Amino acid sequence: MLEVKGITVRYSGLPVMRDLSLKVEQNQTVGVVGANGAGKTTLLKAIMGAMKIAAGQVLFNGKRIDRLRTEEIVRLGVIYVPEGRRLFGPLSVEENLLLGAYTVPEEAAKRRNLEHVYELFPRLAERKSQAVGSMSGGEQQMAAIGRGLMSSPKLLMLDEPSLGLAPLMVSEVFETVRRLQAEGDTTVLLVEQNVLEALELSDWAYILQTGRIRNQGPASELLASDDVRRAFLGL
């Protein structure tokens, strides 16, 4: 579904990502893990057209998208849930969710998507009229993921969804990813510092270090690797 082919990204002329390649197959959950500053968010922004690539290509369903504007990439079905959530605090939960459906013209489809989000996150249904800025970080993360799902994404890219959350909320967020996997309609590219959870969730994973892929393979094999366990899990 997604193919990143040898991309290089520069900040102020200096390369921060060099000749990076990865693939995401349809209906897979693919994890990209690594320490803070490894280039994970840069990768997602480059895919979304929010950062210009200096070399390489990004293809989605065989179509080159790195020359498209971000809004055109969104209309193809690639949705990015950013780190830090980026919600509109004074607006209600439901208003924030509906903003995610601006590419869906049919009202009936919008209502179906909204019902699906409320089924995934009953807490959002309970608080749909509440200003999203008054909610906890975990609840806001649910709203951010829900907003992403409102457009019926083909590829959902999650950037550090567990960042800053209490352990119970982390479990809830990752359980939602598991439910999306079980439904089988959404392909997920998951970027995480929480290496253990990301590898447990993913079918395939990439380990990113200083803008380069240092290792890749079936997530279960990486999780069992002594090198990965020592480097990231302290085991």
Structure tokens at 155: 């590829």
For 98, counting Cβ atoms within 10 Å of its Cβ (0-12 exposed, 13-18 middle, 19+ buried), the class is middle
pLDDT at 227: 80
Looking up tokens 């959870």 gives 197
Each domain of the chain, given as residue ranges in start order, spans: 86-151
Residue 233 has pLDDT above 60, yes or no: yes
- Split at pLDDT 50, 70, 90, the class of 149 is very high
Kindly tell me the burial class for residue 179, based on how many C-beta atoms sit within 10 Å of its own C-beta (0-12, 13-18, 19 or more). Answer: exposed
pLDDT at 115: 96
For residue 61, which phi and psi values (nearest 5 degrees)? 50, 40
Please provide the size of the chain in residues: 235
Give the integer Cα–Cα distance in Å for 62 and 3: 8
In this prediction, residue 17 carries a pLDDT of: 92
What sign for the dihedral angle of Cα 133, 137, 143, 149? Answer: positive
What percent of the chain clears pLDDT 70, i.e. is strictly above it?
Answer: 99
Give pLDDT, residue 232.
74
Three-state SS at 211: coil
pLDDT at residue 169, rounded to an integer:
85
Position 231 scores a pLDDT of 73
- What average pLDDT does this structure show over 179-192? 89
Residue 139 has pLDDT above 80, yes or no: yes
Task: Tell me what pLDDT residue 15 has.
Answer: 85
Say which residue, 232 or 157, is predicted with more confidence.
Answer: 157
Q: Are 202 and 219 in contact (CB under 8 A)?
A: yes
Residues 143, 149: Cα–Cα separation, whole Å: 10
Calculate mean pLDDT across residues 4-24: 92
- Give the pLDDT confidence of 34-73 residue by residue, as tens digits: 888 889 999 999 999 999 999 999 999 999 999 999 999 9
The pLDDT value given to residue 184:
78
> Residue 209, Cα to own-chain centre: how many angstroms?
18
* Token duo for residue 145: 């993921």
d(CA 18, CA 6): 7
Given this model, what pLDDT does residue 234 score?
A: 63
Neighbour count for residue 90 (Cβ, 10 Å): 10
At 9, the amino acid letter reads V
Question: What's the rounded Cα separation, in Å, for the pair 113 and 63?
Answer: 26
**More confidently predicted of 168 and 132:** 132
Q: Is the pLDDT of residue 19 over 80?
A: yes
What backbone torsions phi and psi does residue 21 show, to the nearest 5 degrees?
Answer: -135, 140
The predicted model gives 95-100 an average pLDDT of 94
**Cα 234–chain centre separation:** 26
Task: Give the pLDDT confidence score for residue 206 in this predicted structure.
Answer: 96
Scanning 17-106, the segments in alpha helix (DSSP H) are 40-47, 70-75, 93-99
